[in-house]
Chains A and B, each alone.
Chain A
């Protein structure tokens, strides 16, 4: 009897204990999702894709894109507020401890893309409403963003590790060696080959079409990548796919204020192909970088306002719309493109600092095509495209050149200068110099060395020219922390 009671009591206690233990032993977080519960519906897939874009507008990515693309070239100068690392970059004193040799922000976006590419295909088995076409479209966005990120890596570091799998936990982190430039280039093309097949032409709204990668965005990126590797015919084909679509046009430049407002201040214009979106909720990093109301770090170089756009001596009222009150405020060298408003006396306040970062626009595609044409013996066509850009901008005769249509080099140099005027401060300048200098086995290295002779501090000029004559110095070193954590990485030879 007693024994029976004991058994019963034990049973009850065990039951109570066991049931109460349920929550206690639960390992799943109660206030979040784990991967096993994610990747179930197409909405979740979509939000993961959105995450790829979000990673590009946050975490200092765009600030880095500006710095990587401009700081070693000739269009900006640093104020005394610039950091030691920034000054070192402009002085050609780049060490592996320099914070801007850290590629973290790019790989972080790549990891978001890898996650989508790895886990996205599983969603279709859980969510019957997700069609294969939709899935492929989402995957294409991830592939194309990944390609864009690797294209930056290729141009900045040259040889980088190809991380193609998601590192969803610490145990998944792989130690990878560097891949060659050719391997990185091949990976970019293969990602784009997939994307160009499945990515939509449109998402139904202007903001979506400019803020997400579309088929046209992929074409633009393809054109840029092909041109980088001197594949001119492929570049022209990609450009034509955009130009012939008749979906894009150059914003009319007859009124400088309307043009500035549409193209730059509001953004997502008809000229735009892909731009990183900011709004009052997600502000860009430009206020602290460029605003005269802050301890800003960057100004337009005086050669931009002095020489690049030129002045029409016969008619002072005629000016290049991209000069004063366009991309730059000449009176104080403010980088007007990113911080300006429609009133030249007022810059954007901090809460209004949401100018979009332009990645590709039609003008870019036209000039990429012009460059490819120049190198395929179609100089006259190339010059016609340059003229289109210049006419829209009201460029003055002081900046006009008339190279021989059969001289590819002269036309190409003219295009380089025109790109400087058109894409001022869009983070393209250094890459434009590098692409033109390295063409045909660095046949035109003097493009970079003469630019360096011009921008170098007088007491460093000779050393800097010597450094840049070593073409290995055109690529950044691998950040010291990366070398310490990934033992498979080998420092780039110039920095060993």
Chain B
């Protein structure tokens, strides 16, 4: 059949071709994986989405950074979208990125880059943990607009897409270009006419120059970045200073504010903190050093308010002032600027926001170690009973806030004991310290101690668990006393050591005394105080006192009180303490006693 032949004529080559095709296809190479990871690096990621990032890609090309963002490493890139770059161009009055100044552009690109991988879980209210490559910190936050919350970067851009993982780091897509600050702290303060008194004071004291150095060219690394707490003219006026002249008249004692010893200089230096500290950093620590060394400011968070120098001093509440949330956290090239604001405590009149160094006279601190917030809420507190405080694990914080404790195991404890035989308020701490089976050391947070020179008295109960009365034979529990990780105090302290005999004056000369009223017999089991040394307290602050055991261990080491008594106090001995906590101001006369 003709049709059949024609068909064959056509069809056969088709079959053949199909066959060849099948063979050819069968010969196709298996794909070999050359890469260890499918994820792209930063530059390739930009190339993948030109509709979103082509503008920034051009910027990278212009600034010669495309290459290194393609290399392996660990970076964080804040990546502006095309719309963001366009808005930036508009602001600059340009129509294309090519028209921008390349040096300035380089700075901006570096400001978007960190050599660390930082995901949003590390964001907080303040600066990111690492500097940008440009040298300034980026700050983060979150803002709620009409019910929807977005992460904001440097108060300039909103987060669009966070935490995109690429081969060489993390990308956060943002909707605007971030721009680094161009002003130094000094210039930033000067630029605001509402800070004219503060500015003039900075200039007169010479601190203006301290605040006017770019971090890279600052010879003093400690002062490369600083934080200024600025008082506005309004604050000064509310505090009674209408002009700089008023301020100078009040503070400058030498007439030359440039002298570091001049009170006006110190006043201004007290307004400057070391390091770039945003509000989030300020509320994260209790105290901050100022340039007016050794004066510090204290900080705390009360509900949402940042309170500075607000606290109880020697049993009197001293209201502080706030750093306004909306007007603070201003980034300068070399630090941060905050602005002080009044604070109105409940039932008290408002403060002005003006603050100065307070002249504190050293005063005696009778520190009842068995009185801290954690024990106050227990029913045993000043009410017969025992409570043990432990450290749940080696890395866990000690149960008493601000204290620390060597963790040998979960059963190493410090016990609060309230029992007959206790002294001040009938209670004391049973220090679970000692070598080999107990805690090697314990660190205790002191109450506020004013800068000054003090004798340190350890008030304890002489007690030897074995070999009672045979000291230095028998039980020992001997520690060095160390304050703020400094040198150990002159003498060691031993819970087993008895007081020698002698008259009141002889004992005091030897560094011993009775702190109780009435006195307990000078044998074992008596409450006595030993002077372990004299210490220079350098800042008015809470300090850390450490018992560091060097010999022995016993399960019953009773500590009642630690006294810091100024060396020039009228008496190292009176007042003494009764068991109910009241004071006895009568002089103690002991002619001589034998054990």
Find out whether the CB atom of B387 lies under 8 angstroms from the CB atom of A466.
no
Q: How large is the interface on A (under 10, 10 to 19, 20 to 34, 35 or more residues)?
A: 35 or more
Which one of A230-238, A326-334, A401-409 is at the interface?
A326-334
Give Cα A91–Cα B120 distance, bound, in whole angstroms: 11
Find out whether the CB atom of B379 lies under 8 angstroms from the CB atom of A466.
no
Find out whether the CB atom of A458 lies under 8 angstroms from the CB atom of B144.
no
Known contacts A80-B395, A466-B149, A470-B148; decide if A316 and B379 are in contact (CB<8 Å): yes
Find out whether the CB atom of B393 lies under 8 angstroms from the CB atom of A79.
yes
Question: How far apart are A305's CB and chain B's nearest CB, in angstroms?
Answer: 5
Q: Which of B249-277 contact A (CB under 8 A)?
A: none
Known contacts A462-B325, A473-B149; decide if A81 and B280 are in contact (CB<8 Å): no
Q: Which of A422-479 contact B (CB under 8 A)?
A: 453-454, 457-467, 469-473
Q: Which of A330, A332, A462 contacts B304 (CB 8 A)?
A: A462
Q: Which of A78-108 contact B (CB under 8 A)?
A: 79-81, 84, 88, 91, 93, 95
Q: Which interface residue of B124, B383, B393 has the most chain A CB atoms within 10 A? A: B124
Q: Which of B142, B378, B399, B410 contacts A467 (CB 8 A)?
A: B142
Q: Which interface residue of A84, A93, A454 has the most chain B CB atoms within 10 A? A: A93
Find out whether the CB atom of A471 lies under 8 angstroms from the CB atom of B125.
no
- The chain A residue with its CB closest to the CB of B120 is A93
Q: Which of A320-341 contact B (CB under 8 A)?
A: 324, 330-333
Find out whether the CB atom of B301 lies under 8 angstroms from the CB atom of A461.
yes
Find out whether the CB atom of B378 lies under 8 angstroms from the CB atom of A453.
no
Give Cα A246–Cα B542 distance, bound, in whole angstroms: 59
Q: Which of A81, A84, A302, A473 contacts B396 (CB 8 A)?
A: A81
Q: A164: CB under 8 A from chain B?
A: no
Find out whether the CB atom of A463 lies under 8 angstroms from the CB atom of B379.
no
Known contacts A79-B392, A295-B393; decide if A330 and B123 are in contact (CB<8 Å): no
Find out whether the CB atom of B143 lies under 8 angstroms from the CB atom of A331.
no
Find out whether the CB atom of A458 lies under 8 angstroms from the CB atom of B284.
yes
Give Cα A55–Cα B120 distance, bound, in whole angstroms: 35
- The chain B residue with its CB closest to the CB of A496 is B161
Q: How many A-B residue pairs have CB under 8 A?
A: 108
Q: Which of B140, B148, B283, B378 contacts A463 (CB 8 A)?
A: B140
Q: Which of A81, A306, A463, A465 contacts B124 (CB 8 A)?
A: A463
Find out whether the CB atom of B377 lies under 8 angstroms from the CB atom of A311.
yes
Give Cα A162–Cα B184 distance, bound, in whole angstroms: 59
Write out the residue numbers on chain B whose beta carbons fall within 8 Å of the beta carbon of A453. Answer: 303-304
Q: Which of B366-396 contact A (CB under 8 A)?
A: 373-374, 377-379, 383, 387-390, 392-393, 395-396
Per the CB 8 Å criterion, the residue count for chain B at the interface is 41
Find out whether the CB atom of A88 lies under 8 angstroms from the CB atom of B283.
no
Q: A200: CB under 8 A from chain B?
A: no
- The chain A residue with its CB closest to the CB of B280 is A459
Known contacts A88-B121, A296-B392; decide if A466 and B377 are in contact (CB<8 Å): no
Q: A210: CB under 8 A from chain B?
A: no
- The chain A residue with its CB closest to the CB of B162 is A95
Question: How far apart are A354's CB and chain B's nearest CB, in angstroms?
Answer: 22
Q: Which of B121, B147, B387 contacts A331 (CB 8 A)?
A: B387
Q: Which of A287-333 contact B (CB under 8 A)?
A: 292-293, 295-296, 299, 302, 305-306, 311, 316-317, 319, 324, 330-333
- The chain B residue with its CB closest to the CB of A470 is B149
Q: B281: CB under 8 A from chain A?
A: yes
Give Cα A161–Cα B418 distance, bound, in whole angstroms: 59
- The chain B residue with its CB closest to the CB of A471 is B147
Write out the residue numbers on chain B whose beta carbons fall within 8 Å of the beta carbon of A466. Answer: 141-144, 149
Find out whether the CB atom of A470 lies under 8 angstroms from the CB atom of B147.
yes
Write out the residue numbers on chain B whose beta carbons fall within 8 Å of the beta carbon of A454. Answer: 303
Give Cα A286–Cα B70 distance, bound, in whole angstroms: 49
Write out the residue numbers on chain A whose beta carbons fall within 8 Å of the beta carbon of B392. Answer: 79, 292, 295-296, 299, 332
Find out whether the CB atom of B142 lies under 8 angstroms from the CB atom of A462.
yes
Write out the residue numbers on chain A whose beta carbons fall within 8 Å of the beta carbon of B142. Answer: 462-464, 466-467
Q: Which of B295-353 contact A (CB under 8 A)?
A: 301, 303-304, 325
Question: How far apart are B571's CB and chain A's nearest CB, in angstroms?
Answer: 35
Write out the residue numbers on chain A whose beta carbons fall within 8 Å of the beta carbon of B126. Answer: 459
Q: B397: CB under 8 A from chain A?
A: yes
Give Cα A284–Cα B44 distance, bound, in whole angstroms: 50
Known contacts A324-B378, A453-B303, A465-B304; decide if A316 and B383 are in contact (CB<8 Å): yes
Give Cα A469–Cα B304 distance, bound, in whole angstroms: 15
Q: B200: CB under 8 A from chain A?
A: no
Give Cα A80–Cα B304 distance, bound, in whole angstroms: 26
Q: Which of B149, B389, B393 contacts A81 (CB 8 A)?
A: B393
- The chain A residue with its CB closest to the CB of B121 is A93
Write out the residue numbers on chain A whose beta carbons fall within 8 Å of the beta carbon of B148. Answer: 470, 472
Give Cα A296–Cα B143 distance, bound, in whole angstroms: 35
Q: B163: CB under 8 A from chain A?
A: yes
Give Cα A38–Cα B398 distance, bound, in whole angstroms: 56
Give Cα A316–Cα B141 distance, bound, in whole angstroms: 45
Find out whether the CB atom of A460 lies under 8 angstroms from the CB atom of B393.
no
Write out the residue numbers on chain A whose beta carbons fall within 8 Å of the beta carbon of B388. Answer: 331-332
Give Cα A33–Cα B323 distance, bound, in whole angstroms: 71
B562-578 vs A, CB cutoff 8 Å, 1 = contact: the mask equals 00000000000000000
Write out the residue numbers on chain B whose beta carbons fall within 8 Å of the beta carbon of A317. Answer: 379
- The chain B residue with its CB closest to the CB of A85 is B121
Q: Which of B149, B373, B379 contacts A469 (CB 8 A)?
A: B149
B116-149 vs A, CB cutoff 8 Å, 1 = contact: the mask equals 0000110111100000000000001111100111
Write out the residue numbers on chain B whose beta carbons fall within 8 Å of the beta carbon of A461. Answer: 125, 283, 301, 304
Known contacts A332-B390, A458-B301, A463-B140; decide if A319 and B379 are in contact (CB<8 Å): yes
Find out whether the CB atom of B141 lies under 8 angstroms from the CB atom of A462.
yes
Q: Which of A333-353 contact B (CB under 8 A)?
A: 333
Question: How far apart are A61's CB and chain B's nearest CB, in angstroms?
Answer: 26
Find out whether the CB atom of B144 lies under 8 angstroms from the CB atom of A470.
yes
Give Cα A296–Cα B391 distance, bound, in whole angstroms: 12
Write out the residue numbers on chain A whose beta carbons fall within 8 Å of the beta carbon of B147. Answer: 469-471
Known contacts A80-B397, A459-B280, A469-B144; decide if A292 and B149 are in contact (CB<8 Å): no
Write out the residue numbers on chain B whose beta carbons fall within 8 Å of the beta carbon of A296. Answer: 392
Find out whether the CB atom of A306 lies under 8 angstroms from the CB atom of B377.
yes
Write out the residue numbers on chain B whose beta carbons fall within 8 Å of the beta carbon of A295. Answer: 392-393
Write out the residue numbers on chain B whose beta carbons fall within 8 Å of the beta carbon of A293. Answer: 410
Question: How far apart are A456's CB and chain B's nearest CB, in angstroms?
Answer: 9
Write out the residue numbers on chain A whose beta carbons fall within 8 Å of the beta carbon of B163. Answer: 95
Q: Which of B144-161 contact A (CB under 8 A)?
A: 144, 147-149, 151
- The chain A residue with its CB closest to the CB of B123 is A463
Find out whether the CB atom of A462 lies under 8 angstroms from the CB atom of B125.
yes
Question: How far apart are A343's CB and chain B's nearest CB, in angstroms?
Answer: 14
Give Cα A265–Cα B388 distance, bound, in whole angstroms: 23
Find out whether the CB atom of B125 lies under 8 angstroms from the CB atom of A460.
yes
Give Cα A93–Cα B118 distance, bound, in whole angstroms: 13
Write out the residue numbers on chain B whose beta carbons fall within 8 Å of the beta carbon of A91. Answer: 121
Give Cα A292–Cα B378 distance, bound, in whole angstroms: 18
Write out the residue numbers on chain B whose beta carbons fall within 8 Å of the beta carbon of A299. Answer: 392
Q: Which of B125, B325, B390 contacts A459 (CB 8 A)?
A: B125
- The chain A residue with its CB closest to the CB of B143 is A466
Find out whether the CB atom of B124 lies under 8 angstroms from the CB atom of A331.
no
Give Cα A458–Cα B280 distance, bound, in whole angstroms: 7
Give Cα A311–Cα B388 distance, bound, in whole angstroms: 20
Find out whether the CB atom of A331 lies under 8 angstroms from the CB atom of B120.
no
Task: Report which A residues bind B (CB closer than 8 A).
Answer: 79-81, 84, 88, 91, 93, 95, 292-293, 295-296, 299, 302, 305-306, 311, 316-317, 319, 324, 330-333, 453-454, 457-467, 469-473, 494
Can you spell out 5 A-B residue pairs with CB atoms less than 8 angstroms apart? A330-B377, A453-B303, A458-B284, A461-B125, A494-B149
5 nearest CB pairs, A to B: A470-B149, A459-B280, A466-B142, A458-B283, A469-B144
Task: Report which B residues bind A (CB closer than 8 A).
Answer: 120-121, 123-126, 140-144, 147-149, 151, 163, 280-281, 283-284, 301, 303-304, 325, 373-374, 377-379, 383, 387-390, 392-393, 395-397, 399, 410
Query: Known pairs A81-B396, A302-B374, A459-B281. 9 more at Cβ < 8 A?
Result: A292-B410, A295-B393, A296-B392, A324-B379, A331-B388, A332-B389, A459-B280, A462-B125, A471-B147
